[in-house]
Structure 1
């Protein structure tokens, strides 16, 4: 069966579903491996690492809580609980937003930057072991092209 452009597809075929499930399993396997390494070596969950990274890459090491939640793919309440924990550990602080009395910034502390710097080699080593070291250059390029096609923010 050939579909015309814009024509809806009602069902997902068994091969398509199998590929979807492989993608899910690969993502979960890689994420679990990265998380295990970060927990064992740095007592830092992957979501915490992601928050620290996003803050470190932001101007003045700060982001509005809503923007941070969007970047780390957490619900607002999930991010609030995580930032609460990171704040208790001294890795993140909160500051009021001068332009919005209800808005809050999450801010990376100096201790948070140190912890991130210590954990980053472990994270990068894990990423390398779980992904690019498994694929050759051509496979990596094809994978990037496929993932780019699935991304709403497609890059040229």
Structure 2
């Protein structure tokens, strides 16, 4: 028993020493190789992600711009733990600069896109018809409320009941 605790203490001491050593080395490396600040008053030369005006909005407001729709889609991606290809079909006839097919965002052929539209309408209905009518209800419902970073909603698991008087 004592040798087991001694071994655990030795491993812990070694781990702390290793982390300290690595942290010191990374500070030395950072001091020797500082990241230069971005150039001042120079145009941004990084390639921009093209975000054209949307052409097939059926549930989102039709006056949204490409960047606005892109921002909404990125939020949904995070809340659902998925990527663009889940809902948007690949267009093999439209190749990007990297030679890979681009996505056809207007295409309605994927069932997942139809499901996303239904779920969006459901969330809007919940927020407008229920959440908005509760004083101090807090944040509105979002995709993440149920999905929590997973494509399928996360099942609710109740905490075990405490034993004893209630």
Name the structure with the higher helix share. Answer: 1
With the length of structure 2 as denominator, give the TM-score of the two structures. 0.26
The alignment's TM-score, normalised by the length of structure 1, stands at 0.27
Which of structures 1 and 2 has the larger relative contact order (alpha carbons within 8 angstroms, sep 6+)? Answer: 1
Structure (1 or 2) with the greater strand fraction? 1
